[in-house]
Amino acid sequence: MDAATLAAYDKAVPRYTSYPTAAQFDTRVGPAEHAAWLGELGGAFATVYFHVPFCTQLCWYCACNTMAMNRAEPLDAYARAMLLELDRLAGLAPELIVGAIQWGGGTPSQLGTRRLVDVARHLAARFDRRSGAEVSMEIDPRHCTAALVDAMTEIGVTRASLGVQDFDPGVQHAINRLQSAETTADVLDRLRAAGIRRINIDLVYGLPRQTLATLSRTLDAALALEPDRFAVFGYAHVPWMKPRQRLIDQAELPGAELRAEMAALVSERVSGAGYRRIGLDHFARPDDSLARADASGRLRRTFQGYVADESPWVVGIGASAISSLLSGFTQNIAAADRYGAALETGALATARGVALSDSDRLRGEIINRLMCLQAVDLAEVCRRHHVEPVSFLAGIDDLPRLIEDGLVNRQGDLLHITDRGRPLVRSVCAAFDSHFTPGLQRHARAI
């Protein structure tokens, strides 16, 4: 990608894991709205997402809502709060059917095997679960014991996502995460031997001290593990949001041109190894459910990344967890202790959210299709939302420039992201985002 295009488009833009994005959430949506929206689910299928905001130690690159926690008392209190939230959910949406379960964090295993099992059993006792529902869990290979694998098997985990980020020792020291390829391979073998055979590996490019050579070696080692999926994210340096990132020397971060070369290297190497490129930053084997969803046009993008779930609804359980519901998005209180205290009062722990307008639904569908399928039939989407396509397109001021710069191809009302534009798809989506004001909201860079 040429320097002029990078200078023009490699700006801070949302990741578009939702629309409106979390930057538009505010306190006008609280427990009352959350309760009413949960009641609208009826007997729908929904993903239940459990957020565990704890780790053994903090990695400096991480922008997740997490904290170092190794004491039993706060972990016990947090597990009790999750049980209470499940009880609240059962009272508000008793007919809900669990279509999938995702455990994220933080490091979910930091909750402890007994507590994990208790929460999983509580969910099973309160709700019906769809036959064959996938249960996924994020794993830190440095802390994946035999006891944890046994607990994962007991609660029905079918897919494990292994955090790797980078195998180079210099990069690992720069982000405070030391993890050998041998440790990762041993854990992967242990999981597969226990019957957990669907494996994802998470990598990051744009890290401090990372070069094309170190990234290439990391890709060699990761490909040798033969996972089913890869998620390869661009590092988001947002120290104003996550103070721990101030421990990273900004001078050691790759520049824009090198980041673009890294993104291209990842795509070339992983696709060349037989994986199907999925959306912006995922790759999957052709027989994986994510690849099949992509091929059939059923791919979705949520706060958990790209998913093959048939239902768009997500119910978040835990501190800072986000729910995607029919009428809008809600987010729980971020601080674990205040989250628990709110549930002890008998209410939900909702901190903020956003109600969906008709315009949001239209623009959200367009953005989701661009992020997932790199194409959208604007006329078809507009007419289903009872909007006249010509007048809508007339309000997309940046579209002519995107076409002129070769990021988008337009044939009538059909828009396609070009190969040139694919790394900058978030910048294309920003043109359809009526809430976004460049320079006023601080997000991660486009590449």
Q: Exposed (0-12), middle (13-18) or buried (19+): which is 124, by Cβ within 10 Å?
A: middle
Q: How confident is the model at residue 293 (pLDDT cuts 50, 70, 90)?
A: very high
pLDDT for 441 equals 61
How far is residue 373 from each of residues 71, 182, 258, 287, 299, measured CA to CA in Å? Answer: 44, 36, 26, 18, 8
Per-residue DSSP letter, 246: G
CB half-sphere exposure, 352, CA atoms < 13 A? 10
Please tell me the predicted confidence (pLDDT) of residue 291. 97
Characterize the bridge pairing of strands 229-234 and 198-205: parallel
| Phi–psi pair at 334, nearest 5 degrees | -80, -35
| Predicted local confidence at residue 438, as pLDDT | 83
User: What's the number of CA atoms in the CB half-sphere (13 Å) around residue 230?
Assistant: 31
**Considering only CA atoms, which of 81, 123, 120, 52 is closest in space to residue 321?**
52
CB 102 within 8 A of CB 304: yes
AA letter at 194: A
What is the reported pLDDT for 439?
72
Mean pLDDT, rounded, for 51-65: 92
pLDDT of residue 444: 78
Question: How far, in Å, CA of 73 to CA of 337, rounded?
Answer: 11
Is the torsion defined by CA of 234, 235, 239, 241 positive or negative? positive
Q: Architecture of domain 358-430 in CATH?
A: Orthogonal Bundle (1.10)
Where in the chain is CATH 1.10.10.920? 358-430
Percent of the chain residues topping a pLDDT of 70: 100
Pick from 251, 422, 351, 425: which is nearest to 22 by CA? 351
pLDDT above 80 for 127: yes
Q: What is the mean pLDDT of residues 143-147?
A: 95
pLDDT, tens digit, for every residue of 401-435?
A: 999 999 999 999 999 999 999 999 999 999 999 99
Quick: pLDDT tens for 374-397: 999 999 999 999 999 999 999 999
Q: What is the pLDDT of residue 261?
A: 95
The model's pLDDT over 174-217, given as tens digits with 9 standing for 90+, comes to: 999 999 999 999 999 999 999 999 999 999 999 999 999 999 99
Q: What's the pLDDT at 302?
A: 92
Supply the DSSP string of 128-195, one letter for each residue.
EEEEEEEEEEEE-GGG--HHHHHHHHHTT--EEEEEEE---HHHHHHHT----HHHHHHHHHHHHHTT
pLDDT tier, 83 (very low <50, low <70, confident <90, very high otherwise) = very high
Given a cut of 80, is residue 440 above it in pLDDT?
no
Residues of the chain with CATH 3.80.30.20: 21-355
Residues 7-33 have a mean pLDDT of: 94
Helical H segments across 332-411, by residue range: 336-344, 358-373, 378-384, 389-394, 399-404
Q: Is 398:431 a contact under the CB 8 Å cutoff?
A: yes
Q: What is the pLDDT of residue 349?
A: 98
| pLDDT tens string 337-349 | 999 999 999 999 9
Distance CA 354, CA 324 (A): 10
Per-residue pLDDT of 235-275, as tens digits, reads 999 898 899 999 999 999 999 999 999 999 999 999 999 99
Query: What is the C-alpha to C-alpha distance for residues 306 and 325, in angstroms, rounded to an integer?
Result: 17
What is the homologous superfamily of the domain 21-355 according to CATH? tm_1862 like domain (3.80.30.20)
pLDDT interval class at 71 (50, 70, 90): very high
